[in-house]
Amino acid sequence: MQKLDRITVGGLLDRIATKFPDHDALVYTDRNLRYTYHQFNQLCRQVAKGLMALGLKRGEHIAIWATNVPEWVTLQFATGKMGAVLVTVNTNYKTFEVEYLLKQSDTTTLVMIGGTKTSNYINIINELCPELRDSQPGQLNSARLPMLKNVIFIGEDTPAGMWNWRDILAMANQVTDEELDARQASLDPDDCINMQYTSGTTGFPKGVMLTHFNIINNAHSIADCMNFTEQDKLCIPVPFFHCFGCVLGTMTCVVSGATMVPVEVFHPVRVLETIEQERCTAVHGVPTMFIMELEELNKKKYDTSSLRTGIMAGSPCPIEVMKAVVNRMGAREITITYGQTEASPAITMTRTDDPIDLRVTTVGRTIPNVEAKILDPETGAECPPGVQGEICARGYNVMKGYYKMPEATAQAIDANGWLHTGDLGVMDHNGYFKITGRLKDMIIRGGENIYPREIEEFLYTHPLVKDVQVVGVPSAKYGEEVLAFIQPKEGANLTKEEIQAYCQNKIAKYKIPSYVLFTDSYPTTASGKVQKYRLREKAIRELGLEELANIETA
């Protein structure tokens, strides 16, 4: 059994930088940027001292709202040295969601880029904090976000009221190395160091509190399952704001001394170019990403012969896609990981030496030091092999809890420490798991967790909507798409296009219903509860999606 590592994120980076000082730590092929582990560690120390100079205390919350830029990775390990909790913000979030997250998380400092192709972050933050434009950097006094004091901008042309990232680097000389070392030494591996918002299976997004101990040991297990060493180079096109990016990606590289090769914003061509140029040995992605990369390989030849392994995860993995990644991209040791943010995130994983049929049809066995079992949702009794039930997990990887949500935490983690995932699955006689569905009705679209109630609550604000039920329907590209069944108010004439237009720029693009069907009633139980599974079946029939519904996944 793998020995658990009681170290902090800052201590881990020090250890690896001492062991592999001249080895590449972080490479951006399109920026011509390359840091060795020694250089990367020194840069993270500089940022950590800058944050201390800004006045950030151990345990204070600092949010990062950016694509996979170099500053994201640096901040992840800098906060791991000086003890602020890194709160990750989904790059797709719009005003409503950003306000909720910053307020609920008690964030005092926000680090951000200018925006993406579909979102202007500067406009959003100025809409939330109109006081920012007239504030001195560090002295924001916002009515809507009273805890937020600092906004740090990554990029040129710093907007009014914000610090620039370069200011933080310059402030580092106000703090001595001894002061940083003392701060780092005061941290405990059981401190929360990372907070990620997940829709989970109930209600509005919840802040999952993950500790140094959670994520470092999960990364060790992931690295072991992939046979990762300092010789590996991992292409990371999955977003850092998910555990997939910042645990299975960056942290897994650092625990093994491997090289991080991020792609700032996913594009299949950029991924294939990066693999070819840097001779990456591994690549991560949700099934949607791999499908697009395979389509690109049909159009043009790229040299992916350096690939050995990687992880496909985030939503159910179609078996044929797994086979194509092995055969056409050459990733003969590709693995599948199953888990959730609340589990830091991995619970089970296939191994590189598993037979190919198990690697494409299951999500593997439990990772070291983690237990998992299948429980009957009705009785709570443990299910025998081959019988479907809810997957529950226990071990070092289970989160500290949901931030400021003790009741939700108690619902997720029982008195004996078992995390109830809300996912349905079966386990075979050899301990291999298959995911068969979800206990509740969460939608997973292209690796993004979407909770229907959040979209329903939003659509209820439309003046002509009487009632709405949101379900997921199968999609070849994304695994699932959002569908809204809407009951219009009497006499109202609504169209799909009007509903979609109403959502634009108010909720994240991936949450906007791809399909809208109008109805005058919903199927219900005897007690009047809407039967969403029947709505889903009806939608599949009406939209002719039967073939997609029958695609076999692991």
**Stronger pLDDT, 309 or 286, i.e. the higher one:** 309
pLDDT digits (tens, 9 = 90+) for 125-136: 999 999 999 999
What are the pLDDT digits (tens) for 46-93?
A: 999 999 999 999 999 999 999 999 999 999 999 999 999 999 999 999
Q: For the residues 461-472, what does the mean pLDDT come to? A: 91
Q: By the 8 A CB rule, do 328 and 297 touch?
A: yes
Mean of the per-residue pLDDT values of the chain: 94
Protein fold of 443-549: GMP Synthetase; Chain A, domain 3 (3.30.300)
* Alpha carbon 552 to chain centroid, angstroms: 24
Model confidence over 212-259: pLDDT tens digits? 999 999 999 999 999 999 999 999 999 999 999 999 999 999 999 999
Domain boundaries, the chain: 9-262+269-328, 443-549
What was the pLDDT predicted at 274?
A: 98
CA distance 503 to 497: 10
Task: Check pLDDT > 90 for residue 527.
Answer: no
Question: Which segment of 337-346, 392-401, 456-465, 490-499 scores lowest on mean pLDDT?
Answer: 456-465
In this structure, are residues 386 and 432 in contact, taking their beta carbons and an 8 Å threshold?
Answer: no
For the residues 290-315, what does the mean pLDDT come to? 94
Provide the pLDDT for residue 528. 63
Distances in whole angstroms, Cα of residue 21 to Cα of each of 18, 25, 39, 132, 343: 6, 9, 8, 41, 31
For 329-383, what is the HEC assignment? CCCCCCEEEEECHHHCCEEEECCCCCCHHHHHHCCCEECCCEEEEEECCCCCCEC
526 has a pLDDT exceeding 60: no
Q: Which residues contact 357 (CB under 8 A, 6 or more apart)?
A: none
Is the CATH number of domain 9-262+269-328 3.10.129.10? no
351-409 confidence digits (pLDDT tens): 999 998 898 889 999 999 999 999 998 789 999 999 989 999 999 999 999 999 999 99
